[in-house]
């Protein structure tokens, strides 16, 4: 199954992508994680993306489209994948179409802007493996330490309140039009994401079966 997860920053795309990936045994492809890894390694892609990601703006389409082309060509994508954070512009969606990729479902995780602020200010991520936690809603077993790899949990630079406001603005202007794009193709399902992770996961799987 080939799935796209849409939604504002902090709506819970990464959280739900992980659940779907485990249940369906298909890879979660997070362009945000790939770009952050590239930044950490100091690669050319990382250097190109740095100023954009840190200020909450979108990385240029051509950079992200190349990342996706390479990633979905890998063997582990043969039975499907979950795109978490891609496409984010109409140009990116058109590029995906022109690669001949037929998407089965597009889930839009719907969360109000006011809720987003508290989700992102409380998020902590593992410096080493990128796993995501929340100081209230998804606590690690030991404070400040990743359950999966023992790495240190830190706050993402772009989760500071000023940058979150910019990311939301970018989302409404450039990414939200994708809802209409996929609605017109009959692929869009809306998942209410305001409640607990468990409830959202339940609704996510209902939407996949619908």
Structure tokens at 170: 């970018």
Candidates 40-48, 72-80, 143-151, 189-197: pick the segment binding ligand AP5 (CB under 6 A).
189-197
Q: Using CB under 6 A, which of 2, 4, 6, 7 touches ligand AP5?
A: 7
Least distance (Å) between residue 7 CB and ligand AP5? 5
Residue 123 annotated to the active site: yes
Query: Distance between CA atoms of 77 and 71, rounded to whole angstroms?
Result: 8
Residue 13 annotated to the active site: yes
Least distance (Å) between residue 209 CB and ligand AP5? 20
Which residue's C-beta sits nearest to ligand AP5?
32
Query: Distance between CA atoms of 6 and 11, rounded to whole angstroms?
Result: 9
Residue pointed to by tokens 């240190």 = 152
Angle at 22 between CA 95 and CA 105, to 5 degrees: 35
Q: What residues between 129 and 158 interact with ligand AP5 by CB under 6 A?
A: 132, 134, 137-138, 158
Residue 104: CA count within 13 A, CB half-sphere:
11
Query: Distance between CA atoms of 81 and 17, rounded to whole angstroms?
Result: 10
Q: Is the dihedral of CA 121, 134, 109, 167 positive or negative?
A: positive
| Catalytic residue, candidates 36, 71, 119, 167 | 167
Residue 156 annotated to the active site: yes
Residue 189 annotated to the active site: no
Candidates 49-57, 72-80, 93-101, 176-184: pick the segment binding ligand AP5 (CB under 6 A).
49-57
Question: Do residues 199 and 14 touch, judged by C-beta distance below 8 A?
Answer: no
Q: Using CB under 6 A as the criterion, which residues of the chain lie in contact with ligand AP5 when the complex forms? A: 7, 9-15, 30-32, 35, 52-53, 56-59, 64, 85-86, 88, 92, 119, 123, 132, 134, 137-138, 158, 167, 193, 196-197, 200
Catalytic residues: 13, 88, 123, 156, 167
């Amino acid at each position: 199954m080939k799935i796209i997860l849409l939604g504002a920053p902090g709506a819970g795309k990464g959280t739900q992508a992980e659940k779907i990936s485990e249940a369906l045994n298909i890879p979660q492809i997070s362009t945000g994680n790939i770009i952050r890894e590239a930044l950490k390694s100091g690669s050319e892609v990382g250097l190109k993306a740095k100023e954009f990601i840190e200020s909450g703006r979108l990385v240029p389409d051509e950079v992200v489209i190349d990342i996706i082309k390479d990633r979905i060509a890998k063997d582990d994508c043969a039975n499907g994948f979950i795109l978490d954070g891609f496409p984010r512009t109409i140009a990116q969606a058109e590029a995906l179409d022109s690669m001949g990729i037929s998407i089965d479902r597009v889930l839009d995780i719907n969360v109000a802007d006011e809720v987003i602020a508290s989700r992102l200010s409380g998020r902590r991520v593992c410096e080493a493996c990128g796993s995501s936690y929340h100081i209230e809603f998804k606590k690690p077993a030991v404070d400040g330490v990743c359950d999966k790899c023992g790495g240190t949990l830190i706050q993402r630079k772009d989760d500071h309140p000023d940058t979150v406001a910019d990311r939301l603005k970018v989302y409404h202007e450039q990414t939200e039009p994708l809802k209409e794009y996929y609605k017109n193709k009959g692929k869009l399902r809306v998942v209410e994401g305001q409640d607990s992770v468990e409830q959202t996961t339940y609704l996510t799987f209902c939407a996949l079966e619908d």
